[in-house]
Structure formats: structure tokens, C-alpha cells
Structure 1
């Protein structure tokens, strides 16, 4: 299904503005309104786990809720977009940047390429989203921040939540063993 390019550009602008607002508020849950009721949102968590939220409620509660809790002070500025009006595919490449800086003045930021691949569904909503980032770089950055003493209380709580779940051998909401998510990634 083809889409009007001006509609896709408007969607991109609305999405970017909403992201700025939720970053400032430290609560990403309002972004759930940008998805269809049956949308899916997933990403990979390294060699053993995938994350998948199915439906707007899980996207709100898990993907942009539970998974983002503790990441106050982080921004995800979009660097560029690739948009295909013939298919509704929208790929936004972003950075993950924390407000604190290293002693040398550089910000704590995730290295490598990060992004989101969206499938536009019309009516200013997405039918699905797949994020991609280097989980190894995330782990290295969080470790560096913990060692430097700049990790926030929310980040500590987030890390403890993951470690507690691993110790109990129970996946967190939306976490599935690799390849077992209820919706295929591609």
C-alpha cells in the first residue's frame, strides 16, 4: 500500500516531537498512542533473548513503560531517516545519550548504530516497530557508568530488576527466549 510522502513526513515530525516531550517528562508511555491497537514492538537482547510487546497495551506497559523505566535523563535524538512511501517503511537512526559527561567532557552515549524500523499503518499510527542496537555496547556503557558513579537510582533499580529475574530464572514481561517471541521479527 502506497502512502503520500507528506503524510509520512508529518508522521516523522509528530513522532520526533512526541519523543522530545516524553524524554523531558521521563515517561515514554504516551508514545503508545502512536501504535495501532494490534501493533507489535520488538528487539533483540543479545544471544539468548528477544523482547516483544503485542498490542498497544503491552507496548505502553512493557516496551515504552517497564523497559524505559529507569532511563530518565537519557535522550534518543534522531540523526536521519530513510522513508519509503511505497511500502510505509520508515527507518529512523538515533543516538542514545545520557545527560552526564565523562571527565574528558564527552557525553555518556551508546556507540555504534542504533535505530528503529517502523511500518506505517496510516492514520498517523505504526503497525509495528523493530529496534536495533548493539547490546554489547549497552552493557559496556552501563558498566562504565556504574564504575564512574554516574548511574542514576533508576538505572540501578533497572539493572537489579534484570539480575533478580535472571536469578529466579523467570523472564521479565515481554522477554522471550531467542526465536520464541509470539510474533516473528521479520
Structure 2
């Protein structure tokens, strides 16, 4: 999918009956609970239009995009969720805008593992999804957002605790080798070695000397 199409994901101006959007949200939440219990998220596929787009950002130069229902099922709620079958993603707040046909849902990402103090490992910060409703109780697009820094910290803790699944370890290994996972793409050309060294020295100078 081109950057032009990613950039086209903007709030629409199509209004829908409030009751219809509320029913869509209720169906969506029930679907999420069912898939979470089953440990299989591909059952959410019917909640998307045929040409739906599902995306999220993974830092300054990487984006995930699933283009169309087939890719959403195979990659977004299929491959990307492998290794997280026992995780929980409870919604804790929903905002509905029937005048624009959009919904924002805020959720948590909670691992099934506990810290020594008895609390569950959880990705801190704000996490959620921004949806455009496409009618017929289906989403036209979905844009997830979460705190990337806190997500990385959580995975460092899980790695240290020795509880990461083999599938997740393999994904981390591939990313560390510079390979893009399915659905991932670069937003800009990679920096040269010179540019990376220059930037590192510049930030080090600021940190050490304040200038």
C-alpha cells in the first residue's frame, strides 16, 4: 500500500444513527471477548469491510498496514497475534462520534505472567484503536496506537523473566536482524552509517555538554 493511501486515513463526515454505532461497538466488544477466550483473533474478520485498512505505527520509520479483509485476517489478527494467545486486551473506555461515524476505544495490553510482587506484566501508557464505521456493522478502517517505549520496556522485562513464547522470540530475532515482519514497511529510506554516527555524536554532545 502506498504512503498516499496511508495518508488518506482521515476523519470522514458521514453521520450514522447513534443507536447503530452503539450496537456496532457492543457487537465488537462481544467479538473481542469471544476471540480472547478462544485464543484466536481471526474470528474478527467479519467485522471489517472487504476493502478495510488496519494499521499502526512502530516508531519513526516503520509502519504496519494490512490492506483489505484478507490481509487483516491473515496478518493483523492472524500472524501478528501469534505468541499472544493468552494475553488480555480489555477495553476500559469508548468514545462514539455519530456525526463523523468514528469510534475511539481505549484498551490495555496485559500479559498472563505475574511479577514477583503479584502484579501482571502490562504495557503502561495509553493504548487504543481509532475506527471509521463503514455501515453494515463493519469497520472501514482501524488505526491502533500505543506507547512504543513502554511496549519495549515490557518485552525487556518479559525476556528477563524468561516467559516470552518461542514465536515472539523468533519475531524479535528477525527484527533485530533488520528484517521486516509481514505487513511492516519502511516510511523513509534507511539512514546511512555516517548519518547514524553523526546523529549519535550530536545527541551525546548535548547530553554531556548541554549544547
Aligned-pair CA distance for 1:142: 1.0
Corresponding residue number in structure 2 for 1:164? 174
1:20-75 superposed Cα distances (whole Å, 9 cap, x missing partner): 11111111111111000000000001122100000000000010011111101111
Corresponding residue number in structure 1 for 2:51? 38
Q: CA RMSD in A?
A: 1.5
The answer to which structure has the higher strand fraction is 1
- Write out the 4+ residue segments of structure 1 that deviate beyond 3 Å after TM superposition: none
Change (3 A) 1:179 1:61: farther
Q: Between Structure 1 and Structure 2, whose CA radius of gyration is higher?
A: 2
1:145 corresponds to 2:154:
no
- TM-score, normalised relative to structure 1: 0.89
Work out which of the residue numbers 7, 20, 37 in structure 2 matches 1:24: 37
Corresponding residue number in structure 1 for 2:121? 108
Query: What is the SS of the residue equivalent to 2:139?
Result: strand
Aligned residues: 176
Aligned-pair CA distance for 1:158: 2.2
Given that residues 46 and 136 in structure 1 are in contact (C-alpha distance below 8 angstroms), is that contact kept between their aligned partners in structure 2?
no
Query: What is the SS of the residue equivalent to 2:181?
Result: coil
Given that residues 50 and 178 in structure 1 are in contact (C-alpha distance below 8 angstroms), is that contact kept between their aligned partners in structure 2?
yes
Corresponding residue number in structure 1 for 2:108? 95
Structure 2: where are the runs of 5+ without partners? 1-13, 190-211
Corresponding residue number in structure 2 for 1:76? 89
